[in-house]
Structure 1
Amino acid sequence: MDKLFMVSFLGMLMAVYGVSGNMVYANIGVLNELESFDIEEDNEVNVFDIPSWTSERGCKVLVNVDSFGAVGDGISDDTQAFQKAWDIACSTTQSVFLVPQGRQYLVNATKFQGPCKDNLVIQIDGTIVAPDEPNDWDPKFSRAWLDFSKLNGVLFQGHGVIDGSGSKWWASSCKKNKTNPCRGAPTALTIDKSSAVKVKGLKIRNGQQMNFVISQCDSVRVNAVQVSAPGDSPNTDGIHITSSTNVVLQDCKIGTGDDCISIVNGTSNIKMKRIFCGPGHGISIGSLGKDNSTAIVTKVVVDTAILRETANGLRIKTWQGGSGYVRGVRFQNVRMENVSNPIIIDQFYCDSPKSCQNLTSAVEINQVMYRNISGTTKSAKAMKFACSDTVPCSNIVLTNVNLEKKDGTVETYCNSAQGFGYGIVHPSAECLNSHDKDCMVITDPASKVELADPSREEIVHTEL
């Protein structure tokens, strides 16, 4: 960014809005900090690509699940064969754990645990399918189906499918039928407590609840993975990242019934590039701070994404009563297509059958940039910054934002949110500079001139 241009531009802000010189240089500092962090894609994960069973590192040892009694007819229980094959592959250097193409393997909930010998490849070319009856699920695995843990330097690859058979789980969810008891359901694929992991080319579908979870990991790259579940399937987050660092998601296509990507507590250095999302609830940081908990999320980048017909676009959501912070977030080069809430920060998030109590503490949200965001919105509120009165959102930066509504005006709503915009910002976000605690800016779609809003609006606590 041209610092001389920014000095001139922010100097103009001083004249128009009466901003102090100290504030000008503070804003430059915020921009520099938001621009400064990035994640190197090429060197982030020190693993290897192996297109065949040999490499410069020597011959690979092929461990085929069929050799251990797997039937692959989608009816017979192949769990024991998978476990036996895993024990051999994990304990053998340069091995390939192979799920062959052209077959469907029924596998019950299983934990594939390391540490394993060097250079393990998990080659999934066939389909792995979960039992479809929740009542027969092993209670020891209530929240996981295929769980890979304590791995280092492992490559998951192939053109196969991981199918969670989630339809009966969704039907029994309290979100589908409020008379049902609320209970957690398994995640289709979990990678836990691992490092230097690469996942490439797999298809994950119909997760019982979340589809793919990365938990307590460091240095993970996910390339060209497809995640799919129906748009009305409850809580089926596409890729969920928790307590992890240095994660790169690239060229992923995700359509599901909840967040396409969700990032929660204990995460830092997360980069998402060339992401397609829809249907779903968008790309979300949170929810954070539930039950008065502390949450920390730092250094998150979304660079180049399309969000189509989603309930939200780029979202940060926190519960009242929490603590901690979200800092250093950059959303850039994002195209919205008929998205209900393209840009939203909600510090009053309440996903509860009962009304949530008003509390003063909150997860702090600071240093968030939206750059080169364009497209169409379903709702009039194209941008909504609903922030805590006691812990306001600060250093929100908007540049080259252009959001339109096909059949009406667009608005920016602010409550206790502070920041600034430059370049094109449509609808106008002057409420970020306002000293009013609660205000709305409405922009006429024809003239793009700010209009006065005679009303004051309450914050509505809803989950989309």
Structure 2
Amino acid sequence: MEKSSGLFMFLMLLMLMIKVSFSDEESFTPDESRLWFDGDGESELEKGELSYEMDSVLMRGSERVARIPVNVDSFGAVGDGVADDTQAFRDAWETACSLKNAVFLVPERRHYKVNATKFRGPCQKNLIVQVSGTIVAPDEPKDWDLEHPRMWLFFSKLKGVKFQGGGIIDGSGSKWWAASCKITTTNPCKGAPTALTIDSSSAIRVKGLTVQSAQQMHFTISRSDAVRISGVRILSPEDSPNTDGIHITESSNVAIQNCHIGTGDDCVSIVNASSNIKMKNIECGPGHGISIGSLGKDNSTAIVTGVVLDTATLTGTENGLRIKTWQGGSGYVKSVRFENVKMNDVKNPIIIDQFYCDSPKSCKNQTSAVKISQVIYRNISGTSRTPKAMKFACSDSVPCSNIVLNNINLETENGTAETFCNCAMGFDYGIVQPKADCLKSSSCGGVEEDNQAQTHDPIHTEL
């Protein structure tokens, strides 16, 4: 009887070992790379603090995957906010990247001073980046790594990596801001580092991190696909120059959900070669609003398509929902939907500006422009700080077309809200306040594009 019982236990153990070995070989699962989850379940690592023991496990369905913590402290990191922990982070990354089911671990209650670093892939499967403590940048621009003047923490060529842990990434940006050409006009405009970048990657999840006081942009997603960001906080003061919150460029299938963003520039900015961008439950303020653009600078071609914002609150921002393009550009923005947005004391709640000019000199008039069409604004309400609550300033030669307004209620604290149109064509239905009759009568001498627009992709981009 004892022999049969022992044999049974041995067979059960063998089956468990086979199961684990099979799960090790699995690729990033479809559920993990989906953009949108309602009631998304959390892994054990996301719900609580990671166990630092070597036998810690992550549940994936009914299977158990052994996790290997790679702690930056084990590679010589001090974590006092004074000592330079850059090399320890680089060494820990090399090890974590080379191991299957590893956890690159930045422990809580510690401050790690790290200079500009590239964390390159590709890495072994199922890597987790667990930031529970604080990563802080050198606060003196003169101490910056001259080989990487425009980046701080740069992650590239990754697939199926999760960033989590509830920690803080602090760019120590105040001295960079003080030296900005937008603050001190005698300084040349050289640009400053982006705090966190994910580049040339796919199937990435970022959850629960705080990025604050960036030198310039806080968090950039570039040349990537299938990126999901949730529960992220971006924090910088209103007067910090060029500190965009989340910046998306040359990327597709990006979802941003349940995020609070307060900066000195755009809360979210979406620029060239980006498509299928979905945002839900966004709090923005202070900042310059949620922007597509700027696009078309220096006569460049730009294409952005398939952008959806569903449910947002913007408070005290310079702009609300903005599309901005330079004169002289080409390409198009189409299939955009903004809906269920509350404006609280926003200077320009709804604005399309095809005459954007962020330059100390006046921009010369040019006839070419980035075409803007198929844009829906639905269920937008709140207060405007200025009389022009809606402004559609479009190109005479490349007018905006198929602009649709539905259930708009924007008011000013004092006076009457207005709508301004130049070469913007479309229609409204339902209750629209202020009235937007100018969309029906704003045709101009440029090329008629309404019929051509019918051949474009459908405007109803679904979440």
Return the TM-score normalized by structure 2: 0.84
**Correspondence for 1:392 among 383, 389, 399:** 399
Aligned residue identity for 2:362: S
Quote the residue 1:170 is aligned against: 177
Query: What does 1:24-423 correspond to in 2, within 5 Å?
Result: 41-42=36-37, 50-51=45-46, 52=50, 53-55=56-58, 56-423=63-430
Q: Deviations over 1:304-350 (max 9, x none)?
A: 00000000000000000000000000000000000000000000000
For 2:433 and 2:245, the matched residues in 1 are separated by 30
Q: Deviations over 1:153-185 (max 9, x none)?
A: 000001110000000000000101111111110
Gaps of 5+ in 1: 1-38, 439-464
Aligned residue identity for 2:374: Q
Contact 1:47 1:196 in 2 (8 A): no
For 2:442 and 2:391, the matched residues in 1 are separated by 17
Q: Deviations over 1:385-404 (max 9, x none)?
A: 00000000000000000000
For 1:46 and 1:240, the matched residues in 2 are separated by 27
Change beyond 3 A, Cα 1:435–1:84: closer
Q: Secondary structure at the match of 1:176?
A: coil
What is the identity percentage for the equivalent residue pairs of Structure 1 and Structure 2? 67
Contact 1:47 1:153 in 2 (8 A): no
For 1:419 and 1:195, the matched residues in 2 are separated by 37
Aligned residue identity for 1:274: N
For 1:239 and 1:380, the matched residues in 2 are separated by 29
Change beyond 3 A, Cα 1:243–1:64: same
For 1:177 and 1:77, the matched residues in 2 are separated by 30
Q: Deviations over 1:183-208 (max 9, x none)?
A: 11000000000000000000000000
Q: Secondary structure at the match of 2:73?
A: helix
- Judge which range, 319-328 or 174-183, deviates more: 174-183
State the number of aligned residues: 399
For 2:263 and 2:426, the matched residues in 1 are separated by 33
Contact 1:339 1:376 in 2 (8 A): yes
For 2:327 and 2:200, the matched residues in 1 are separated by 30
For 1:49 and 1:174, the matched residues in 2 are separated by 46
For 1:157 and 1:65, the matched residues in 2 are separated by 16
Q: Secondary structure at the match of 2:96?
A: helix
For 2:262 and 2:383, the matched residues in 1 are separated by 19
Contact 1:47 1:154 in 2 (8 A): no
- Judge which range, 128-137 or 314-323, deviates more: 128-137
Contact 2:424 2:442 in 1 (8 A): no
Q: Secondary structure at the match of 1:66?
A: helix
Aligned residue identity for 2:57: T
Query: What does 1:407-446 correspond to in 2, within 5 Å?
Result: 407-435=414-442, 437=444
Gaps of 5+ in 2: 1-33, 51-55, 446-463
Contact 1:46 1:196 in 2 (8 A): no
Contact 1:421 1:429 in 2 (8 A): yes
Change beyond 3 A, Cα 1:241–1:435: closer
For 2:87 and 2:151, the matched residues in 1 are separated by 17
Q: Kindly report structure 1 stretches of 4+ aligned residues shifted beyond 6 Å.
A: 45-49
Q: Deviations over 1:429-456 (max 9, x none)?
A: 0000014649xxxxxxxxxxxxxxxxxx
Aligned residue identity for 1:41: W
Contact 2:340 2:380 in 1 (8 A): yes
Report the alpha carbon displacement of residue 42 of structure 1 after superposing the two structures with TM: 2.7
For 1:47 and 1:321, the matched residues in 2 are separated by 47
Contact 1:47 1:197 in 2 (8 A): no
Contact 2:424 2:443 in 1 (8 A): no
For 2:208 and 2:441, the matched residues in 1 are separated by 48
For 2:365 and 2:44, the matched residues in 1 are separated by 51
Report the alpha carbon displacement of residue 406 of structure 1 after superposing the two structures with TM: 1.1
For 2:329 and 2:348, the matched residues in 1 are separated by 24
For 2:203 and 2:322, the matched residues in 1 are separated by 28
For 1:335 and 1:58, the matched residues in 2 are separated by 44
Aligned residue identity for 1:380: P
Q: Secondary structure at the match of 1:84?
A: helix
For 2:181 and 2:442, the matched residues in 1 are separated by 42
Q: Secondary structure at the match of 1:325?
A: strand
Aligned residue identity for 1:247: V
For 2:350 and 2:149, the matched residues in 1 are separated by 35
Contact 1:170 1:234 in 2 (8 A): yes
